[in-house]
Amino acid sequence: MNIDSLFPDETTGELLARASSHYTPSYRQQPIFLTRGEGVWVWDRNGNRYLDMVAGIAVNSLGHAHPRLVQAIREQSEKIIHCSSLYHNEPALALMDRLTDVSFADRVFFGNSGAEANEAALKLARRYQKTVARQPDKTDFLSFNNSFHGRTYATVTATGQPKYHEGFEPMMPGFRYADFGDLASVERAFEQAEGRIGAVLVEPIQCEGGLFLPPKGFLPALRKLCTRHGALLIFDEVQTGIGRTGEWFAYEIEAVTPDIMTLAKGLGGGVPIGAMLCSDEVAFGFGPATHASTFGGNPLATRAALEVMRTIADDGLLDHAFEVGEYLGQGLQALVDKHPGKCVETRGVGLLRGLELVADERNLGATIVPECRDQGLLTNAIAGKVLRFVPPLIVEKGHVDAALEILDRVIAEA
């Protein structure tokens, strides 16, 4: 029995059975309870240790139990955790300062998740077109096939993957879709919309859809098209932002400036927070009491995010993420070369990497993920067949070697 547990007298099997009886059946969870972590390592309640290449889905940017983050959260919780947006708080202001310092943005709205940040962006874009740009007919949104933007009604409608819409129809009106990376398809959508597109929402790198980078030049061309048509350009950097690619934001890679950007995941290092950033002009689509969030910008979450950003800057984690990411990319390429019957290719940048597996009746993703876990490596499969590697930004080359060794063995046996 596990004495450092809320359930010291129950076996893991018993807890799993209770979970499966009483949670809504929304997830296919792996059958382990994670109880603690340190750096890139996590432990389950049975004492097994895992190398964490998932990082809570690109969230634990400083790894687990980072001393600076722990101390910041502890100190802040002793001062004030929540006060609502009826009042100002200093951590939110300091975080806003940081975010506007390192990005194109002049203004920030805080929420609690990626979907909420995207909701805020879509609402702001529509209201900006009506009240500031005085283009009231520009009510439509254009997003991309194979994208992922969240699970609220607007964001799941923007998500260009029918499997996420199934059973939830009717979806929200006013959404159109083009093909990611295909400028002609975007031009066609603008033509068909006859001036009604008010904003284009795009992930600069498609993440959940299977890790696809756009062809070089696509994002700059999209920027030009949006400007020509009077549409706002919204970058969903929920997964790509805050150092994941080796830059603060993926928009820097091709120097394309959006009008609005959304963040979440890595920003709080594990403490839930989302943010929508925009230019001064666009921000005035909102006025007092037009959009709000009870928990948004609370001092605990913003203090945590501030410490994440300070640590990334102080410890040179952007360059580090790029360098270790290149090393990881080379290692994954070596696996592709070594196992051509099982691996197709590797894609990604920085510490945002995917390994596409051959899709056939072997269902390799569903076999390799649990086998890696049993051998002490956490990874996950997106789009059914792409193993995703989004480790903490503090990961070292030695950890990458250890992960690749397990992966090599598991792929060989799969």
Residue ranges in contact with ligand PLP by CB under 6 A: 113-115, 118, 148-150, 203, 207-208, 236, 238-239, 264
CA 85 to chain centre: 25
Specify whether the CB–CB gap between 381 and 365 falls below 8 A.
Answer: yes
- State in angstroms the smallest separation of the CB of 263 from ligand PLP: 10
Specify whether the CB–CB gap between 263 and 275 falls below 8 A.
Answer: yes
Q: Which residue is nearest to ligand PLP (CB)?
A: 114
Q: Output 129 or 146, the one with its CB closest to ligand PLP.
A: 146
- State in angstroms the smallest separation of the CB of 247 from ligand PLP: 16
- State in angstroms the smallest separation of the CB of 151 from ligand PLP: 6
Q: And the tokens for 72?
A: 């910041």
Q: How far apart are CA 405 and CA 59, in angstroms?
A: 24
Q: Output 210 or 331, the one with its CB closest to ligand PLP.
A: 210
Torsion angle, alpha carbons of 346, 219, 270, 272, to 10: -140
How many other CB atoms sit within 10 Å of the CB of residue 166? 8
Q: How far apart are CA 142 and CA 199, in angstroms?
A: 6
CA 209 to chain centre: 12
Q: And the tokens for 128?
A: 């900006």
Q: Output 61 or 399, the one with its CB closest to ligand PLP.
A: 61
Q: Output 68 or 165, the one with its CB closest to ligand PLP.
A: 165
Query: Counting every residue, how long is the chain?
Result: 414
Which residues lie closer than 8 Å to 254 by C-beta, 6 or more apart?
216, 217, 219, 220
How many other CB atoms sit within 10 Å of the CB of residue 99? 24
Identity of the residue numbered 191: E
Q: Output 55 or 404, the one with its CB closest to ligand PLP.
A: 55
CA 18 to chain centre: 30
Q: Output 112 or 129, the one with its CB closest to ligand PLP.
A: 112
Q: Output 125 or 193, the one with its CB closest to ligand PLP.
A: 125
